[in-house]
Amino acid sequence: MTDPHPPTSDLARRGIADLRAEQAAGTRSCHGTVAALLDRIAAVDAADTEIALRSVLQTAPDALASAAGRDAERASGTPLGPLHGIPVLVKDNIEVIGLRGSAGSLALANRPVTVDAPLITRLRQAGAVIIGATSLSEWANFRSPNSVSGWSALGGLTGNPWALDRSAGGSSSGSGAAVAAGLAPIAIGTETNGSITCPAALNGVVGLKPTVGSVPTTGVVPISASQDVPGPIARSVRDVAVVYEVLSGRDDCLSACASEAAAALRVGTVGAWLTGHPGTDAAFAAAVESLAPHVAGVRPVFTAFTPSTVDDDQVTVLIGELLDDMDAYLPTRPGEGVRSLADVVAFNRSHADAELSVFGQEYFERAVAAGGRAASAYLAARARNVTWARDECLAPAMADVDVLIAPAYRPAWKSDLTHGDQLYGGGVVCTPAAILGWPTLTVPMGLVDGLPVGMSIVGPPNSEPALLAVGQALEQALALAGTAALQPTWRRPMRG
């Protein structure tokens, strides 16, 4: 299948610098850009077509008016921010005036958002135009161990623009798929463990999961205060750096994308984090070979394989924090409806035909019964998680290097509404960084079986400039960004 909406496809693939230059030259207005992207969203995301991605849950009712206002600001000589006139999509678990902020759940679909989340205020102050909300794995993919990435009761199942029957990853499914499909140059996702990294890898785009605490989470539907963080998804490392500076208030990230910025950085490859998928791990080895001349050195480092007890403890931690954080968040939403996690459980049971038709809510039920952070099981699990991630995993691996690298995930698996995400491979790189709140950058490293795969780059807290420098070096070495090699194929669903 060819690109289904050619008139806007070239526009949709432009990055921040391209769009700003065209607007400055008067060859393209912000209003014209937004109007064209809204047309593309309507064409590509329409639920009644064979190319429906269902990646955008809702378009912003004020998008065109906001775009016209940006054009007026440029004409008046108003000082322009770094994202002036840039269209942005936002994951629908982030509060934006005029959008639902539903987390994909019917329980929040009619609870109005009356105040922008602080991160949205930062985007608007930088000149961005919020054009819509992206679909997501319902409640950010922490409702059931049998969940299906990209599915929500409100939005249905998000597809992957490379192959429409393949997973777009989770939980920022719509954000990754929409950027890959050219529906916007920038999208904002959130991550607790893998929720930016996975969609970035599976859709062939760049995603940054920042240091926890570096981007405000007020106005974001929570899972875990110790692991949740919003972050940018784009088609280039440089664009991710620009947006992250806006979200975080830092001013040292764009400069990290300069040529030779990675030359002094030492890189460690982690064998225990390979995916086990031959094609993906071979692509990683080739990418490492391409990266090596652009950094101070690449060498293998040792860390133990992740035992299953770590994952079990992490679930205990997340269900403990989920109860407390959701019970604190839900009463802040205006309107009538659920006020606690227990209310959500009851709501889902009373709307089981829609909410529980694909998978259950076992994690929610466990969380309601678990007792939150005060429970001894939570305290012990969190202590074990932190000790393992810090002392047994990341500290030894980081002893003589500045960043760690590994393949992110195998190529996108088929979406399966019957069995859930049973066939995914990879993601091991995410867990220790998630537990400690460390940042991770994921960058495309090529195609395997016609589907994109990514490299993840991990560093200690606030090491985003180092991650971006290595990511930019990889992007330049592979020369994939902006080329036909990373343009989705829109392959129709296939049997088998």
Identify the bridge partners of residue 230 per DSSP, sorted by sequence position: 190
Reference 388, options 434, 424, 426; nearest CA is 434
Tens-level pLDDT at each residue, the chain (496 residues): 444 543 345 776 789 999 999 999 999 999 999 999 999 999 887 666 667 899 999 999 999 999 999 999 999 999 999 999 999 999 999 999 999 999 999 999 999 899 999 999 999 999 999 999 999 999 999 999 999 999 999 999 999 999 999 999 999 999 999 999 999 999 999 999 999 999 999 999 999 999 999 999 999 999 999 999 999 999 999 999 999 999 999 999 999 999 999 999 999 999 999 999 999 999 999 999 999 999 999 999 999 899 999 999 999 999 999 999 999 999 999 999 999 999 999 999 999 999 999 999 999 999 999 999 999 999 999 999 999 999 999 999 999 999 999 999 999 999 999 888 876 678 999 999 999 999 999 999 999 999 999 999 999 999 999 999 999 999 999 999 888 889 999 998 888 6
Which class for 260: exposed (0-12), middle (13-18), buried (19 or more C-beta within 10 A)? exposed
Give CA torsion, residues 198, 202, 205, 209, to 10 deg: 0
Choose, from 171, 214, 224, 226, the residue flagged as catalytic.
171
- Asked if residue 376 has a cis previous peptide bond (ω within 30° of 0), the answer is no
H-only helix segments in 330-452:
341-350, 352-355, 362-370, 376-387, 395-397, 430-436
Name the CATH code of domain 6-307+390-486 (choices 3.30.70.260, 3.40.50.920, 3.40.50.720, 3.90.1300.10): 3.90.1300.10
Global pTM value: 0.97
Tell whether the torsion through CA atoms of 195, 156, 322 and 425 is positive or negative. Answer: negative
DSSP, collapsed to helix, strand or coil, labels residue 293 as helix
Whether 209 is a known active-site residue: answer no
Tokens of 199: 């969609």
At which residue do the structure tokens 């785009």 appear?
205
Tokens of 101: 């902020």
Instruction: Annotate 170-231 with DSSP letters as a single string.
Output: SSSHHHHHHHHTTS-SEEEEEESSSTTHHHHHHHT-EEEE--TTSS--TTB--S-TTT-EEE
Q: Spell out the residues 6+ positions from residue 42 whose beta carbon is closer than 8 angstroms to its own.
A: none
Reference 408, options 245, 206, 228, 224; nearest CA is 206
Whether 171 is a known active-site residue: answer yes
Choose, from 55, 135, 195, 415, the residue flagged as catalytic.
195
Give me the phi and psi of 333, to 5 degrees please: -80, 130
Whether 144 is a known active-site residue: answer no
